[in-house]
Structure 1
């Protein structure tokens, strides 16, 4: 079994700066580190674009949910979906446009220039993004050709700033659990 070599991109946020470290497992000499100032207005613009995208996804989801409400047969659901595709095509196109714009904004304003060049030249199928900033969808970075998450097999490693205390629970011979059910479906949601 061969081990998978992944590029690892460490992204840390310190005040209004992002610090990038790119580690190449195949060639540690080419590992790279750079810091970029990111004005709060740029970060805010990206978060607003993300909010717009999530809103569009919500509209799409609700339109599909409404169309399928109460219809339990698979055939009927497929007919409804086919009919809705024409209506929702513009919503989907708008979501794709917004997502690409978001990815380009992240790549342009939050990634240092030299780092961008190095990211475009990654010679690996696997990339791990290690960061404590969970608000920014780094996987959606778009280099002008493709989304990062489509170009590479991307994983995210969350770096917690707070240590988590493990609590050891006493072992017991009996397994206990609580199961709650509403088989008649007459209780409020």
Structure 2
């Protein structure tokens, strides 16, 4: 994983610098999300990684697919990745780009997994807790995970706060076995 991030870093830095220059970080984030989603398709991956494929034909077909999602800078970026055989780095590039944007804009993306739906007040409480702990504005993404049984698991950057019943049971089991 770290090798992929190392390879992806110069592309993510270049994309972020261009996005900052043009004042289009939001548009770039949307383009990179589109690219990551599109390239998750197995047939598209196979076509992209086929050394026998004509790169220009692939690019033409890909640009037709993404005509509503890519501007000229995005197309040039894809062209660069295709010609350098780095299209497979897109998930890492998008992750790094999002990290650079969050750092620069002073927020942190927080993933909250919960066994049951949260109301607005509970979400605000979690955001406040994360902001107090990390001294940065929290941007929450909440999703349900019934396997947690109860409670929440909060992921912010490389920190994980496991307040789930499943996590407590696992810690109890580990304690009992030791």
- TM-score bracket, normalised by the shorter chain, equals under 0.3
Q: Which has the higher helix share?
A: 2
Query: Which structure: larger Rg?
Result: 1
Q: Which has the higher contact order (CA 8 A, sep 6+)?
A: 1
TM-score under structure 1 length normalisation: 0.27
